Structure 1
Amino acid sequence: MTTATHTTDDYPTRHRSEESKPRKHPTVWGTAADGPFDEAALDEHERHGFTILEDFITPAEVETFTGELNRLASDPTLQGDERVVTEKASGEVRSVFQVEKLSDPIDALTRDPRVLDRARQLLGSDVYLHQTRVNYMPGFKGTGFYWHSDFETWHAEDGLPAPRAVSCSIALTRNYPFNGGLMVMPGSHQTFVPGVGETPENNHAASLKEQTVGVPSEEAIADLARRCGVDQFTGPAGSALWFDSNIMHASSNNITPYPRSNVFLVFNSVENTPVEPFAASAPRPAHIAARDFTPLH
């Protein structure tokens, strides 16, 4: 597989010693004997960097979690809370972080065997929560997320040494191809693409509303798209997307009448705990990047 050949002479990057290159680490660290995924499913996940599971949670659970999202978005005690991120233009709630601390049902979900056993299997070890959040994308007004790799940010700003982390995104509304559903580049997780530019102080305060620093160059994105193509997470409420921390992904604006909301659970291996950030002066706050590495049980 060919890789992009950007160097520090081409543009400033947040990782001055890094070029876009194949990963040195596997995507799947466990085996079929370690959890619910069978051998074929693990092979698919290794190749593509993501797995979609429909009917992952029940309609009753979807209703419960949707109620929790509505409660969090309208809770007056959370106004001004640093865990709540609002839309840059409209001021509506865009994301709420550290939701396991704000919702008992979501806290229980992080330990549900359907979730936890898969996270342990994919990462081949005990795991802890690196980050949790809910993303709201209301009809007509929802703004998207530009192309990025989560690991690039978690490496640069949080200090994760390796891409030994996995996200589980659970749809609480139907994810159509046209209401801002998550786009992914299959196989792109095998290439590390550094972001462009220096990391400003407290970059998270702006980047969580609209990320402009720490994203790849258009040349790097176009190169990956030519090699990998673009797929999309679609499916009914209750579906789940498991995706590698280094996969290139994005979502477009939602100008349809159909809202889209998802709950994200990010698991990191206890053998991959953060060190000092690789391209930032200080780590992001604990509600965005946990510093409690207690294994989930």
Structure 2
Amino acid sequence: MTETVESRVDAYPTRAGQVQVMPRQDKVVYGSAADGPMDQATLDHYDAKGYLAIDQLVTGEELEEFRAELKRLSEDPTVRADERCIVESTSQEVRSVFDVHKVSEVFKKIAHDPRVVGRAKQLLGSDVYIHQSRVNFKPGFEGKDFMWHSDFETWHAEDGMPGTRAVSISISLTDNYSFNGPLMIMPGSHQEYVSCDAATPDDNYKKSLVMQGAGTPDKTTLTEFADKYGIDVLEGPAGGAIMFDSNCMHASNGNVTPFSRSNIFIVYNSVENTIGEPYAARKPRPEFAGSTDFTPAGASSNA
């Protein structure tokens, strides 16, 4: 029998009019070196820092295929007219295309690839499903920033994800320099959960997917976190990837350089951590933002 919203235990309360910093209630790494492709040192680094880097995940041939598909999606008027396509508020350039593993056969293949799914399963210690996928465009001169936030806070508040047992992977389609808006993470911040004070507006996703509002921590807490954890700027070549915990405090600057910064972003959630009713929103976000299809990734029916 499904639990009612009232009977659920909320281990991570948020958006209730006050800011709180509380210890993480869940483990970070659930698997071991024997469970997948990563060695124990890599798993230990992820456990301590909340992220890991993969120098080269995909081949040069695959990278060219992904870039061609990225260009096709950005120029397809049908894709642009879809609700799953998010555009920049000022330039009207494409910012993100969500549900990309359903929109594109090319990106569907990498989303179910053992190189990716195997690592996610190793970290989370179970089968995993795709909670969300998208490609992010950060074109030269026009790409806007993503403010500091924990993805889990939004997934918990607006999608009903109960615990932090989820991992994101960002596969670089372009070189990430320190100056073209790469991912920044506060290493170790995943061990503390920051609740936010503002209530969730109705249909918040329509604004938050363009520019965050509710779900963004206050500046005092962010300053304290930066002083405590520091900031790692994650540079790296195209074809590499970053995997990071759902509760990492992360952000990226705007891109005022001529060098674009684009990536494939896929969220894997444990099949033992499936979403339900939102914890701090009147209704869930659309399916493309928080999937209720819990079919394990990499299963033969998806491949």
Per the shorter chain, which TM-score range? over 0.9
* DSSP 3-state at the match of 1:95: strand
* DSSP 3-state at the match of 1:134: strand
8 Å Cα contact 2:36/2:122 also seen in 1: yes
Cα deviation 1:71-129 (Å, max 9, x = unaligned)? 11111112321000000001110000000111112111112111010010000000000
Cα deviation 1:45-79 (Å, max 9, x = unaligned)? 00000001111111111111111111111111123
| 5+ long unaligned stretches in structure 2 | 1-13
Structure 2: which amino acid aligns with 1:233?
L
| Partner Cα separation in structure 1 for residue 22 and residue 78 of structure 2 | 46
* DSSP 3-state at the match of 1:118: helix
| Partner Cα separation in structure 2 for residue 109 and residue 51 of structure 1 | 19
Counterpart position of 1:277: 278
Counterpart position of 2:220: 219
Counterpart position of 2:43: 42
Counterpart position of 1:24: 25
8 Å Cα contact 1:15/1:278 also seen in 2: no
Counterpart position of 2:251: 250
Q: Percent of counterpart pairs with the same letter?
A: 53
Return the TM-score normalized by structure 1.
0.94
* DSSP 3-state at the match of 1:268: strand
Shift, 1:275, TM fit:
1.5
* DSSP 3-state at the match of 1:267: strand
| 5+ long unaligned stretches in structure 1 | 1-12
**Structure 1 residues 18, 274: CA separation in 2 closer, same or farther (over 3 Å shift)?**
farther
Counterpart position of 2:202: 201
| Partner Cα separation in structure 2 for residue 48 and residue 284 of structure 1 | 30
| Partner Cα separation in structure 1 for residue 289 and residue 58 of structure 2 | 25
| Partner Cα separation in structure 2 for residue 170 and residue 73 of structure 1 | 18
| Partner Cα separation in structure 2 for residue 272 and residue 15 of structure 1 | 23
Counterpart position of 1:87: 88
**Structure 1 residues 271, 92: CA separation in 2 closer, same or farther (over 3 Å shift)?**
same
Counterpart position of 2:54: 53
Shift, 1:15, TM fit:
4.2
Structure 2 counterparts to residues 108-187 of structure 1, below 5 A: 108-187=109-188
Shift, 1:267, TM fit:
0.1
Shift, 1:18, TM fit:
7.4
Counterpart position of 2:287: 286
Counterpart position of 2:8: none
* DSSP 3-state at the match of 2:81: coil
8 Å Cα contact 2:16/2:198 also seen in 1: no
| Partner Cα separation in structure 2 for residue 101 and residue 71 of structure 1 | 15
* DSSP 3-state at the match of 1:129: strand
4+ runs deviating over 6 angstroms = none
Counterpart position of 1:67: 68
8 Å Cα contact 1:158/1:283 also seen in 2: yes
* CA RMSD, 1 decimal: 1.3
